Structure 1
Amino acid sequence: MASPVKALLVEDTRFDALVLSTMLRRFHCEITIANNGKEAVDLFLEGNKFDIVLCDNDMPIMTGPEAVEKIRAMGETYVKIIGLSANNNVQEVFMTAGVDVFVPKPLKIDVLGAMIQEVINKKNNSMV
């Protein structure tokens, strides 16, 4: 049995965090929630490893793109990072920061499912 996908959810809005974590649970993900970009960066600095990161754009203390840039700068290149925002104008900022993909909110369950399946396939292939 493959280990569960470790997901980091970086989201400051409780409702959105609840919706997204409910979706992640449907795919049997192990979920960690960070309330802003700084908390997300700190989790990586502490040595935590994640398979997938769902990162909101607009948060207090440190924005999503700032966090993504710092996480990538630490050499965390293997982790799949998804930039999320209701504002489509931030796609460019997220892509420049280093996300693998930008998805407008609300995130659709089938889109998330496909991305998680991709992560699972990658994990399984690297264990062979």
Structure 2
Amino acid sequence: MASLVKALLVEDARVDALVLSAMLHRFHCEVTIAKNGKEAVDMFFEGKKFDIVLCDNDMPIMNGPEAVEKIRAMGETDVKIIGLSSDKNVQEVFMTAGVDVFFPKPLKIDVLGAMIQEVINKKRNSMV
């Protein structure tokens, strides 16, 4: 089996978190959930490492783009960050903040699968 991908899911809506974590588990990801952007930033600050981050936009305490900006400012450039939102006008805000890619909600499983595969390939190539 391929190496485990460490995924951080930044999502305050319980149902969305359950659906997305179930999708991530299908791709054999180790899933950590942060309920808001500040929790996510704190995890990176504590030195936790992730291969991929799925980040919602609208959350209490700190929103997605703010969290992404802070994570990138810490020098976390290797982690693949995906911005997610059901709001139509936030793609540009996320891109400016430093996400690698933005997808509207609901995220399709094949799209997530392709992203996970990309991360696995990148990990394999860096081990060579």
TM (norm. structure 2) is 0.99
Provide the aligned length of Structure 1 versus Structure 2.
Answer: 128
Name the residue aligned to 2:32. Answer: 32
Deviations 1:42-65 (A, max 9, x none): 000000000000000000000000
Aligned partner of 1:47 in structure 2 is: 47
* Deviations 1:52-98, CA, capped at 9 Å, x for gaps: 00000000000000000000000000000000000120000000000
Query: Match of 1:97, as an amino acid?
Result: A
Partner amino acid, structure 1, of 2:43: L
Q: Does structure 1 retain, via aligned residues, the 8 Å contact 2:10–2:35?
A: yes
Aligned to 1:111: 111
2:94 is the alignment partner of 1:87: no
**Structure 1 residue 3: deviation in Å?**
2.5
Distance in 1, Cα, partners of 2:127 & 2:34: 28
Structure 1 vs Structure 2 CA RMSD: 0.6
| 5+ long unaligned stretches in structure 1 | none
Q: What is the percentage of aligned positions where both structures have the same residue? A: 87
AA aligned opposite 1:13 = A
Q: Using the alignment, how far apart are the partners of 1:100 and 1:79 within structure 2?
A: 9
For residue 124 of structure 1, give the secondary structure of its aligned residue in structure 2: helix
Q: Runs (4+) of structure 1 moved beyond 3 Å?
A: none
Secondary structure at the counterpart of residue 43 of structure 2: helix
- 3-state secondary structure, aligned to 1:106: coil
Whether contact under 8 Å (1:2, 1:124) holds in the other structure is no
Aligned counterparts of 2:91 and 2:73: Cα–Cα separation in 1: 19
